[in-house]
Every structure is written in structure tokens, then in C-alpha cells.
Amino acid sequence: MHDTSMRPSPIVPTVDLDADGVQHGFLRLPYSRDESAWGSVMIPIAVIRNAAGPTALLTGGNHGDEYEGPLALFDLARTLDPGTVSGTVIILPAMNYPAFRAGTRTSPIDKGNLNRSFPGRPDGTVTEKIADFVQRYLLPRADFVLDFHSGGRTLDFLPFCAAHVLDDKTQEEKAFAAVAAFAAPYSVRMLEIDAMGMFDTAAEEMGKIFITTELGGGGTARAATVRIARRGAMNFLRHAGIVAGQPEAGETTWLDMPSDACFCFAEDDGMIETMIDLGDPVNEGDLIARIHPVGRTGLAPLDIRARMSGLLVARHFPGLIKAGDCASVIAVRVT
């Protein structure tokens, strides 16, 4: 089931991935350190399984400061009745668990960005060991993969579900069908420029039906966005045929981010004032943000203007901004 040419993973699961019923357990990853010579990282995992049927892998906490996914998945793991399931649901609600516990995008252990660490290494850092286990032991079991993201502490997004434009158009079509089933307020077709190390790509290269989300941000979760996540996860399982019934319908707006002109970057440090709110329309040349110098009063702010027309789908979240930070993202409606 996994590539045996490599060293086996040091991770020891405390659940049996092939057993029926509900199991709550851990992926135990040995981690020797000053604070614990024979310590481990204990990554929660739940397996809900019932007889034959496809396998869905649901993941949250790929980045540790994004909460809609973990909230929906801890809830689902606790409440999903195996009697209503045909197949297997593997839930990793907090995949980069050290990052999730710290409330940070990356792991406090090794600063690893899990979503840039695939396919990982069994003898690498803690983050690389997690990636390797998912790559070699979990992904091969899955037919459907849903990886939850939000903006995290430093970005805020309009809530959307997305899949990638792929070379294999059959696979792509299936993925966009799953996006439609998820039924987020917005749906996005993404063309990945730099796929290096992404979980998305790892799943797609194995031919899995892979979808992802951005459901808010700021390092918090709103009641509205958690509801989107919870309904989307159930819709995804229904769409996959693992849970019976039709996905619950919901209106969605399809968006596209066609070019680099979608993104505006700061060229100075300062205090940012985003002039419009998420979802607001914008025309090319409009003032969308200003960076105010903070060393003294009386200085003019630096203007950031839209490089294309569309609507604001993402923005820098914290009040202070650094040169090089992404200030805003614009998308266009697909008609």
C-alpha cells in the first residue's frame, strides 16, 4: 500500500485503519527533545468505517491558525454515526498538530509549513514526517480528499471552495463537481503556478478527487463560516456516496483569478487601511488600500491601487503591514 523502497515511517498509529466502527486515536510520532528525551507528538485521528464503499480523507489544521476546518472536523469525528456510513471516513482535524496547538501557521518545532512539505521524509523534521505519513500511508487509501483552509492570522478571505485546473480533464471535472456539491458561497477555479510541496498536488498526482477551501481568516472563526464548513463536509461525503442522500443545495458564485495582476504587495512598512471590504466591487485604478507611515504625523500615506477590475476576495488582516506582504487580492466573476 505504500512505497517500500524508503525507510518506514517512524509514526505509530494507535488506530486500526482497516477496522469497522468508530475509532478515536493518535498518530504517535516519536520526538526526542530537551523537554522529553523519549517524547512524541500525538496527532489526533478518527476513523469511521462501515463495510464496503469509497474512502474519504478529511483534513484540517494543515496550517495551525485556521479554524473552520478543525471546528467542523472535531465535531464530525464525534458525531458521525458509522451506521450511516458506507465506506471509510478518515479524519485528521489538526494535521499539523504542533502548529494547531500553538495557533500558528507553521510548526513551532521546526517552522515547517506542512502545505509546502510534501512528499515529506521519514527521517526529516517533524513536519516532514507528518507529510510523509500522509503521503505514503493515508493518501493511497483515499478516493476523495477535502483539505480545509482559511486565511489564518494574517489574511482574510471571502468564503470559497476550490479545485485546481488539471491536465487530466476527467479528474478535473470530478473535482469541480465536488466543489459544486460543497456549496460554499463562492467557488474558485485555481490555476496553480507554484505547486512545489503542496498537499493538493500530492493528492492530485495520485489521481484523487481533491478539493480545498478558504473560509474566512484572521485566526478566528465566525458562526457563519463554521456552518459553511460543517455543511460542506457533509455535502462532500454525500457527493462521494459515503453518506446517503443528496448534498444540501446552496447558491454559489464562481470566481477566477486570471493573472498576477490580482495581487497587490506592500512596498513599505506601516499601518494599513483597506479602503473597501471583502466582496466589494473594484475597478482598475481604484484606491484599494493605503499604508500610513507610523513614525510621525503629517506624512502622506502610500497608495495601493487596483491593477484590475473585479471584487476584493482577500486582504491583509493585521493593522500593521510589512514591505513584501500581500495587501489585497482581486478576483473576477465567471459568467
Q: Which of residues 189-218 bind a second copy (CB under 8 A)?
A: 194, 196, 218
CB closer to a second copy out of 73 and 181: 73
Per CB under 8 A, does 10 bind a second copy? yes
Of the candidate residues 40, 171, 252, 253, the single one contacting a second copy (CB under 8 A): 40
Q: Which of residues 265-324 bind a second copy (CB under 8 A)?
A: 265, 267-269, 271, 273-277, 280, 292, 294-300, 317-320, 322-324
Q: How many CA atoms lie within 13 A of 73 on its CB side?
A: 29
Number of residues that bind a second copy (CB under 8 A): 90
Q: How far is CA 135 from the centre of its chain?
A: 16
CA dihedral 272, 275, 277, 278 (to 10 degrees): -70
Per CB under 8 A, does 130 bind a second copy? no
Say if residue 119 is preceded by a cis peptide, omega within 30 of 0: yes
Q: What are 236's three cell numbers?
A: 462532500
Q: What are phi and psi of 302, to 5 degrees?
A: -90, 125
Of the candidate residues 2, 116, 305, 307, the single one contacting a second copy (CB under 8 A): 116
Would you say 128 and 121 are in contact if contact means Cβ atoms under 8 Å apart? yes
Would you say 58 and 229 are in contact if contact means Cβ atoms under 8 Å apart? no
Per CB under 8 A, does 20 bind a second copy? no
Q: Which stretch binds a second copy (CB under 8 A): 24-32, 162-170, 180-188, 250-258?
A: 24-32
Per CB under 8 A, does 223 bind a second copy? yes
Would you say 134 and 91 are in contact if contact means Cβ atoms under 8 Å apart? no
Side chain identity, residue 172: E
Per CB under 8 A, does 231 bind a second copy? no
Q: Which stretch binds a second copy (CB under 8 A): 153-161, 175-183, 203-211, 245-253?
A: 153-161
CB closer to a second copy out of 87 and 217: 217
| Cβ 227 to a second copy shortest distance, Å | 10
Between CA 257 and CA 331 the distance in angstroms is 5
| Cβ 335 to a second copy shortest distance, Å | 26
Between CA 133 and CA 128 the distance in angstroms is 9
Per CB under 8 A, does 59 bind a second copy? no
Q: Which stretch binds a second copy (CB under 8 A): 37-45, 49-57, 135-143, 236-244?
A: 37-45
Of the candidate residues 128, 132, 204, 325, the single one contacting a second copy (CB under 8 A): 325
* Total Cβ atoms within 10 A of residue 329: 20
CA dihedral 286, 273, 270, 62 (to 10 degrees): -100
Binding pattern for the stretch 61-100 against a second copy, x by CB under 8 A and - elsewhere: --x-xxx--xx--xx-xx------------x-xx-----x
Which residues share a beta bridge with 20?
none
Would you say 158 and 328 are in contact if contact means Cβ atoms under 8 Å apart? no
Q: Which of residues 164-193 bind a second copy (CB under 8 A)?
A: none
Q: What is the largest CA-CA distance in the chain?
A: 70
Per CB under 8 A, does 129 bind a second copy? no
CB closer to a second copy out of 173 and 227: 227
Which residues share a beta bridge with 193?
none
